[in-house]
A and B are shown apart, each in its own frame.
Chain A
Amino acid sequence: MLQHFDPNKDYGTPARVSENLVTLNIDGVEVTVPEGTSVLRALLKRTSTFLNCVPAITWKHSALAVSAQWKLKVAAAPCFLYHTCRKRHVCYYAEQQAGETAPQHHGAVHLRSPAGLSDLSSNGNCELQDVAGAVGLREVRYGFEGNNHLDAKKDESNPYFTFDPSKCIVCSRCVRACEEVQGTFALTIDGRGFDSKVAAGQDDGFLASDCVSCGACVQACPTSTLMENSVIERGQPEHSVVTTCAYCGVGCAFKAEMKGNEVIRMVPFKDGEANRGHSCVKGRFAFGYATHDDRVTEPMIRDSIDQPWKKVSWEEAFSFAAGRIKDIQAKYGRESVGGITSSRCTNEETYLVQKLIRAAFGNNNTDTCARVCHSPTGYGLKTTLGESAGTQTFDSVMKADMVMVIGANPTAAHPVFGSRLKRRVREGCGLIIADPRTTELVKSPHIIADHHLKLRPGTNVAFINAMAHVVITEGLEDKEFIANRCDNTAYNKWREFISEERHAPEQTEDITGIPAAEIRSAARLFAAAPNAAIFYGLGVTEHSQGSSMVMGIANLALATGNIGREGVGVNPLRGQNNVQGSCDMGSFPHELPGYQHVADDAIRGRFEASWGVTLDNEPGLRIPNMFNSAIDGTFRGMYCQGEDIAQSDPNTNHVDQALRSLDCLIVQDIFLNETAKYAHVFLPGASFLEKDGTFTNAERRINRVRQVMPPLSGMADWEVTMALSNALGYEMNYSHPSEIMDEIATLAPTFKGVSYDRLEELGSIQWPCNDAAPEGTPTMHIENFPIGLGNFAITEYVATEERSTRKFPLLLTTGRILSQYNVGAQTRRTPNQAWHDEDVLDLHISDAEMRGISDGDWVGISSRAGDTVMRARITDKVQPGVVYTTFHHPGSGANVVTTDNSDWATNCPEYKVTAVQVVKVNSPSSWQQNYQNFDDQQQDFLKQGRESVSQ
């Protein structure tokens, strides 16, 4: 879908929703708008030329509430542009155009010409210049000798954009974007009167300020004062393509603005239903990895991992891979191979990989990275609510009166949603945070959580049970909802269970560390809110009781009647761009696409008929099982697409051992990632800019991913999987990803109504999309649950075996930060490194002092699984007894320390709780030394591979 480059039409003030319509008269033509609409917006609906003819610059940002920095009479009409429309408003705009332009227009533009109009760079990107052109301005009447800011110094500290105050007209749009859209409050107007200027932080430059580099200010700037460096360097884009971001599960829509095949900049798409025109530093700026020199764009093979790579043709790579897989299966049996689908790839690509495994490998040894993040969500929500997905849209949060965030840090990991939530909280919505750490949502400018329930890692279930106990024993439950919408047998059983005194906050206080009074107060607030919503992240799922906690959350939502309308719900914040989709597409060993169990003969029969093969009726291996079987010698071949299990999975030593045991590891990726260092076949993958397909975000929203540049390797990922399948002897024959989606629609009932044509028509679709809901389902469970009645599940708290001991007295919990993404394969190859170029260990001052550790010291972190070394950062964001780190850099070895403990139901690893000891050290750990040697060797093999001649 190529579009000519055309700035989005901006109606200046937000759209209003109202049943009451107001009709006003513009140049004799009646224009009808919802009540509350500004005159400016109504005028712009009438004529697009108005856009450039009125110095309405300061309002032209539809995300911002009306704030006229400019008052302007529309010709003779007694109304102002920013007034809300009233009946009988009559505007004479055309008359004025026909006559002389009003002097105040001229006056305005003259006054606003800080650098002289001819000096404004970035033609076509400056609204001031547009207005000057429209009013026919040729000279500046005030001259250039007067007081001015032309010598103001540029701020080039941010790696992605430049602030040139000499071009600034101090319209405050950037400041307001930072406040109202992003909610960071990093920008301000410093000084008064003529000296007013935009300042970041305490005027200490963008990089040193609180600025999170979301770019909302750059987008809002009407001149070229705040401008992307890429535009300054390479000029204005020529065309654009709307596509979907490939970072987190928010699923932001972007316009990739292009010059030929080169992306000049990414601009959040204003019609994007997940992001509403906003973005974060990753989505907007960190796309340079796609053309990084580290990209491997030619297939490579080798006999064993202690050999250099050899560049080969695609045909040779496929035949080598297929041959090895077939040999393994001949020798060790059908079950001896498997594969891992990717949450980074499209639905269509994921679907093909699991289809290849089930149909060409002939077993169900397929799994996906959701195993290590949100598999408990799937299990827990399916058990209680009947569907493995979040219940709401992101928009829904704007109707919430109370939000409880559990084990999630949205401002870092889901920044666009985080901004949305902060916006709602600034509007007065209550906020309860349950997190061992003090996250930004606990306290930041204009945000203070009503409660920060600072629980001990690993005690989630005891906490949620205590919340439910208060609701039930104090009679705060929604009796009507329970009676009508829930299974009353299950409810009564649960009620009896949860009412037991041992769940009382006073009893659990010693377990969770949360004062009983605080739990009681939080539970009362939550239960009393007309609309209370729960948002949760990996702090809920990545525990030995992850599934129990998800069910505990659902229990609380059901008990308080907070399901089935806007503003409420149970909302898992999914980590990766398509983790929802990869689960939907049948990546799990026990479920075919659409969460249909492999053991169900009728269901399997439909797939067998469609695919023309006999399918195994036994669930296959999960990722941890694959590793164990590999070490046992029964699992010997793996096809891994777009996932870096060597870095992301827990207990790195164990993973290392498993991967080394494989006879054939086929890795398909854009870089030679950590896993590929153990591979025998490397198939070059395509970045999201090269993909054509769909991603499904955390709100079940299927978004189109459109190709903006051809695959660097010459083959799209789905074509690679198809060719591999064909080489294995199972024929696949698709000419376009849309055909894959059509096949999915015939097999997965929740996708029945989905097609590329429908997606073009509707923009995006939230599944279920079928005959009953032809336009998709924004809010789930409105009238009933897929399982009929809501099911209360018994959630007994069982302490994790991973607890602090004399040997390992601290609890390590892991997470993410804003500027880096997951294993960092992408963001480490961008200037985002400016914010976070190494992982550090956060620890509380009391724990540091006890160990003689100062800020910046090298510290050794050891657990029963392994040890690693990183720098310490002393902070009050973690509580005493808890330490925290990230795993964005492979050399940090965060997962060398994490253990193979996992969720009882789904095997989701217990990343969030590891008992560790921390000591001051002065050299890297032995693991790190070995890692460095292995990495050097593999980089050398890659270099030799790149230099080899393709045969």
Chain B
Amino acid sequence: MVMEADPFMLIEGMTIAGLAVGATQGYIYLRSEYPIAHQILNEALAKAEAANLLGENIQGSGKTFHLEVRLGAGAYICGEETSLLESLEGKRGLVRAKPPLPAIVGLFGQPTIVNNVLSLAAVPYILAEGAKAYADYGMGRSLGTLPFQLAGNIKRGGLVELAFGLTLRELLEDFGGGTFSGRPMRAVQVGGPLGAYLPESQWDTPLDYESFAAVSAVLGHGGVVAFDDTVDMSQQARFAMEFCVVESCGKCTPCRIGSTRGVEVIDRIVNDENREDNLELLNDLCDTMIDGSLCAMGGMTPFPVKSVINHFPEDLHKPVTEDMAS
């Protein structure tokens, strides 16, 4: 929305960031699924250049900053910073080892800072209104605001920009208005497909990064997906592994093979084949993926799985029905 509705906020933020770190070249890496954002951004860049707000000797300041939009080809992994850099260099979107960190050896071997639109778009406000004004939003170390995305089985879905610190329950009930189906809400996944499922007991957790980390969950980009009591959480655990199967770049073993094995192991658990052994194996697999994966893709895939094991164990112990066995 920022890119489509207020591209200059992003351009200004990136230009300031570029000047701050002494960079003369910036890139906006955009998924190809956003053609309108692509068109608008390019028009905005052209206008900014024409007005000498970008390019050589910006407004006679002697400072230079060029900005360019590059399209990705749709791989989820290219949201990971090192894969993003590989993709920007024209290579396959494969994760790089860190260190060296991109800030030291990044794009084409040059020092590179990689930030999301949210951070960069906040820069003009902070510089215009001062750090205090920005810090007045939020709580603890999570300052500013986050656009939360309410989705799933929810009465009022959509985007809500809020300061950090509200509880999840307030968000779900006051803004979301409960489930769409009207049935009781059972589980909420926060932070995208790699985020943990929160049971009702955790819904009073304040929406900030630190509080979520404390309950082994992630706030991530603020995506919130609600489920009512008809959900089969074993299938949600399976979906996490399946998602990783589809999106894994294939570079590191825990993610590349672990995700496939994860789906297989969960299927065996559901079908009650050596259920206890396989549950232990699933736990070990999750540890291997968390400790052994090269990036957050494989490292976070176990989060939703583990949350199901910990908070919804009954769904992994259901008797096998004929329907399932088929």
Contacts and interface: CB of A to CB of B under 8 A. Distances in A.
B97 A111 contact: no
B285 interface: yes
Contacts of B256: 170, 193-194, 196
Given A66-B97, A103-B284, A103-B288, A146 B250 contact: no
Contact of A194 (B248, B281, B291): B248
Contacts of B264: 142, 145-147
Contacts of B37: none
A192 interface: yes
B261 A70 contact: no
Interface in A109-159: 111-112, 141-142, 145-147
B108 to A, nearest CB: 10
B83 to A, nearest CB: 11
Interface string B236-269: 0000000011111111111011111100110000
A475 interface: no
Interface string B269-297: 00000000000010011011001111000
A732 interface: no
B320 to A, nearest CB: 18
Given A107-B288, A192-B250, A193-B246, A146 B260 contact: yes
A740 to B, nearest CB: 50
Interface string B61-97: 0000000000000010000000000000000101011
Contacts of B285: 107
B292 A68 contact: no
A73 interface: yes
Interface string A66-110: 111111110000000011100000000000000000011011100
A7 interface: no
B281 A142 contact: yes
A111 B252 contact: no
Contacts of A111: 253-254, 257-258, 261, 288
Interface in A189-227: 189, 191-196
B288 A108 contact: yes
A84 B261 contact: no
Contacts of B281: 141-142
B319 interface: no
B97 A82 contact: yes
Contact of A68 (B97, B258, B261, B288): B97
A691 B162 CA distance: 81
B291 A72 contact: yes
Interface centre among A71, A171, A195 (most CB of B within 10 A): A71
Given A103-B287, A147-B264, A68 B294 contact: yes
A767 to B, nearest CB: 38
Interface residues of B, number: 34
Contacts of A146: 260-261, 264
Contact of B254 (A107, A141, A145): A107
Contacts of A192: 75, 248-250
B59 to A, nearest CB: 33
Contacts of A104: 287-288, 291-292
A145 B248 CA distance: 22
Contact of B253 (A66, A67, A108, A147): A108
Contacts of B94: 189
A71 B291 contact: yes
Contacts of B294: 68-71
For A68, A72, A169, which residue has the most chain B Cβ atoms within 10 angstroms?
A68
Contacts of B259: 193-194
Given A84-B99, A103-B287, A146-B261, A193 B247 contact: yes
A142 B261 contact: yes
Contacts of B265: 142
B253 A70 contact: yes
Contacts of B291: 71-73, 104
Nearest to A107: B288
Contacts of A587: none
Interface string A37-71: 00000000000000000000000000000111111
A112 B257 contact: yes
Given A71-B291, A103-B284, A108 B260 contact: no
B250 A195 contact: yes
A139 to B, nearest CB: 12
Nearest to A197: B250
A361 B245 CA distance: 78
Contacts of B251: 69, 172, 189, 196
A59 to B, nearest CB: 9
Contacts of B250: 170, 189, 191-196
Q: Count chain A CB atoms within 10 A of each CB in B251, B257, B258 and give the residue with the most.
A: B257
B279 to A, nearest CB: 13
A366 to B, nearest CB: 53
A147 B291 CA distance: 23
Interface in A403-426: none
Contacts of A107: 254, 258, 284-285, 287-288, 292
Nearest to B291: A104
A112 B99 contact: no
- Taking each of B248, B251, B264, B293, which has the highest tally of chain A beta carbons within 10 Å of its own beta carbon? B251
25 contacts: A66-B97, A70-B252, A82-B97, A103-B284, A103-B288, A104-B292, A107-B284, A107-B292, A108-B253, A111-B257, A111-B258, A112-B253, A112-B257, A141-B281, A141-B284, A142-B281, A147-B260, A169-B253, A188-B92, A191-B250, A193-B245, A193-B246, A193-B248, A194-B259, A195-B250
* 8 closest Cβ pairs, A-B complex: A107-B288, A196-B250, A193-B248, A68-B97, A146-B264, A111-B257, A194-B260, A67-B97
